[in-house]
Structure 1
Amino acid sequence: MTSITSNPAAAILGIGTALPAHSIAQADIAELIASSLQDSPDLARFARRIFRSCGVDTRYTCEPSYLGSPEDCRYLPIGDHSNIPTTKERMDTYKREALPLGLQAAKQAMNEASMSPEQITHLITVSCTGQYLPGLDVMLIRQLGLSPRVNRLPLIFQGCAAGLKAIQMARDVVLGAPGSQVLVVCVELCSLHFQPAKEREALFAASFFGDGAASCVIGSPKEHHSNNMNLGRGYSVLLPDSTEDMTWEVGNTGYDLYLSPRIPKLLGTHLKSELALLLGGDKLPELWAIHPGGRGIVDSVQEVMNLTEEHTKFSRDVLRNVGNLSSVTIMFVLNAMRQEMKSEGREEADGVAMAFGPGLTAELMRFTYIPAYAAANKEQNHALL
């Protein structure tokens, strides 16, 4: 086959993922939220229904408060709301919990890429669920032993699309400065921003978000003989007439997220033409790394592009097993895809990755999975020329 990245200059060389220690069944979090809505029985019924149908079975959280009785949960209290954690309290928790998860994911990615700390030239950190200074980038440099001169590129408050945005930024760094080795670290603690719901849209947003971290190393593919994902062209696009359909603002008791029920329809309306532009007349690829922003989003992409369940299984599996991890999620999808391709001894295959965030923003990128033996053969052949 002819790869869409036949002469690649940038590839994902290693991926690491991390989840908090606390897992919670979707049915349990649904009951917790329903209990906090005792004074709004219609909303409580809607919560149970939407939580059952959103495609999530299990989520992870850094906050053990969700594991106890409803009476003890400050984030989703029954009755009195006077003791709900303030935004400052939530940021304090973020500062404490984000770094260990980011470190775990980064160490995995660097280990798989056979990358030592002194080889990392750039660090891109991504998060939209917490902020502090000196930030996660500084703490990662100290804890990982990276050079104090590493080029730091914090990418904050960009929503679910930011993970793929960071990958594309890293690709551009490697293309523009050959020999660069870029470490991308995404950490999202979405559950810190759960709060009592006042409307259906807030319940919809709370129905599938969870906590996690992911990291990848991006550099020249010729330097690594693992199961690479070689990175092709891509771009970011703002979809028309959609500015108010996804918002994420700082409130007094956490960040206030609004997701419009129009989002799947908007993606269905505009995505096909954008993917046609990305593919440039090439046939549809075999691999589809779709950010599972919710079951409706995956359904919409599958329908508009005439995909099969096989095409969307990685996205649906990630959504079911860990929920939507905001910017982190796309790396979970790419990692699951790559692991299956490796375990089954699959051949080289082209793919498309996509993620969506406020704007509405669509991040789109082509890639090629290169099995280990193919990568080794390509480098050996290159050495003989």
Structure 2
Amino acid sequence: MKPITGTLNVAILGMGTALPVHAVAQTDIADLIVSTLQDRPDLARFARKVFRSCGVEKRYTCESNYLGPVEECRYMPSPDENGVPTTEERMNTYKREAPPLGIEAARNALRDAGMSPERITHLITVSCTGQYQPGLDVALIRHLGLSPRVNRLPLIFQGCAAGLKAIQMARDVVLGKQDAQVLVVSVELCTLHFQPVQGREALFASSFFGDGASSCVIGSPETHHRDYLELGAGYSVLLPDTTEDMTWEIGNRGFDLFLSPRIPKLLGTHLEAELRALSINDTLPELWAIHPGGRGIVDSVQEVLHLNDEQTRYSRDILRTVGNLSSATIMFVLNAMRQEMHDRNKASAEGVAMAFGPGLTAELMRFTYVKAYALSAKEQDHVLL
């Protein structure tokens, strides 16, 4: 086995993702929205521009109501505004649709890690798009066969940054309890909160969010026989004078999101100094797992850190193929990155992960891709799959 050192290492041992069955082309969503703006040609032209330039080609949704004609879509403006789904209706849809996605992603992560459900000691559930009790954590315990004594840590309503925050929380758990095995599950149904477009600001939020789930298993990699991501130093920071630039509030007809057009510039202004706290100066890591909160955010990070197109490709590919899945997105990026490192037969590679949320909050973390340690035939006989 890989020799055990005096310092405990913590790693993502396995990852899994899941998407709803309904895939929608970005051009179809744009057509749907533009068809409701015939009496506002300037806004319709702006909508076309936003949807073309945001870096998304396809998204997924749990809500089949988006797939029909515009006159049947309750999320679009109509003469009868009472037909727009209430928050209660949206939460009922979340309660029905979120558990199957979370269960699928978690099963994939457990299988990828070679981890049996009964070995999980801590469960961190993440979501900002739905709430109910007994919640997602209880559904996961029942359907996955987790211990009823598993330590449950729900992380709710913290926005896109919460997925990386959960990973860092799991790292802290394992550092404090060396035999801990933490399952992180994030489920976000962003399309449930689509609001009828009334102005330009609403178009930004409607142009790139989608639905999906992701999961990972975090523990000590000392006897792990598969590729993993070793978790290094990380922290959370509240950026100054940005409180009103991203807000997420509960309204009578779903959750109301506001995204300021200043966000990419603000992140560009503050990120370089913050990365120095991770001891990143002149020599930049090879891998950059940037939360694709939108094309402008990835562009800004690339510009201020002088990254090349290859280093931001992972984030742009996820944005293009599934959209922004809020807190679940960062694990999609990390999973794609790990798979490519494996396919390229890389021994190891240093990286930085970052995600952003209301506050503005930035979550930053170092990590290292490590290729699976080759087991001897004798060692393989003792590996518990």
The TM tier, using the shorter chain, reads over 0.9
1:343 — aligned with what? 343
Are the equivalent residues in 1 in contact too, given 2:351–2:368 (CA < 8 A)? Answer: yes
Cα distance in structure 1, aligned partners of 2:336 and 2:280: 27
SS at match of 2:197: coil
CA distance in 2, matches of 1:303, 1:128: 29
What letter is aligned with 1:104?
A: E
Aligned to 2:72: 72
Q: What residue in structure 2 maps to residue 383 of structure 1?
A: none
Q: Which amino acid aligns with 2:95?
A: K
> Is the Cα–Cα contact under 8 Å of residues 77 and 197 in structure 2 kept in the other structure?
no
Pairwise mapping of residues 33-44 of structure 1 onto structure 2 (< 5 A)?
A: 33-44=33-44
Q: Which runs of 5+ in 1 are unaligned?
A: 381-385
2: distance between equivalents of 1:120 and 1:52?
43
Structure 2 CA distance, aligned partners of 1:37 and 1:74? 15
Distance in 1 between the 2:97 and 2:38 partners?
Answer: 31
Aligned residue in 1 for 2:274: 274
Q: d(CA) in 1 for partners of 2:195 and 2:277? A: 40
Aligned to 1:94: 94
Deviations 1:77-106 (A, max 9, x none): 444322011000000000000000000000
Is 2:105 the counterpart of 1:105? yes
Query: Letter of the aligned partner of 2:108 in structure 1?
Result: Q
Residues 196-211 of structure 1: matches in 2 within 5 Å?
A: 196-211=196-211
Q: Give the 3-state SS of the residue equivalent to 2:134 in structure 1.
A: coil
The letter for the 1-side match of 2:146 is L
For residue 230 of structure 1, what is the amino acid of its counterpart? E
SS of residue matched to 1:373: coil
Q: In 1, distance between residues paired with 2:375 and 2:33?
A: 49
For residues 251-266 of structure 1, what are the structure 2 equivalents within 5 Å? 251-266=251-266
Distance in 1 (CA, whole Å) between partners of 2:82 and 2:44 is 21
Consecutive unaligned residues of structure 2, counting only runs of 5 or more, are: 381-385
What is the alpha-carbon distance in structure 2 between the residues aligned to residue 303 and residue 7 of structure 1?
36
Secondary structure of the residue aligned to 1:372 is coil
Return the offset for 1:112: 1.0
Mapped contact 2:8–2:175 kept (Cα < 8 A)? no
Q: Which amino acid aligns with 1:185?
A: V
1:138 alignment partner in structure 2: 138
Q: TM-score, normalised by structure 2?
A: 0.94
1:20-68 Cα offsets, whole Å, 9 max, x none, are: 0000000000111112223332222211110000000000000011111
The alpha carbon displacement at 1:375 in A equals 9.1
Q: Is the 8 A contact 1:289 1:330 kept in 2?
A: yes
The answer to whether residue 297 in structure 2 is matched with residue 328 in structure 1 is: no
- C-alpha distance in 2, partners of 1:209/1:266? 21
TM-score between the two structures when normalised by the length of structure 1: 0.94
Q: Counterpart in 2 of 1:186? A: 186
CA apart distance, 1:197: 1.5
SS at match of 2:338: helix
Distance 1:254 1:22 in 2: 21
Aligned to 2:383: none
SS of 2:104's equivalent in the other structure is helix
1:249 aligns with 2:267: no
Q: Percent identity?
A: 74
- Secondary structure of 2:82's partner? coil
Counterpart Cα distance in 1 of 2:375 and 2:124: 26
Contact 1:238 / 1:362 at 8 angstroms: preserved in 2? Answer: yes
Deviates more, 1:77-86 or 1:321-330: 77-86
1:167-316 correspondence runs (5 A): 167-281=167-281, 283-316=283-316
Equivalent residue letter for 1:187:
V
Structure 2 CA distance, aligned partners of 1:97 and 1:316? 27
Residue 120 (structure 2) aligns with = 120
CA distance in 1, matches of 2:287, 2:296: 20
**In 2, distance between residues paired with 1:276 and 1:35?**
48
Q: 1:375 to 1:186 in 2, by over 3 A?
A: farther
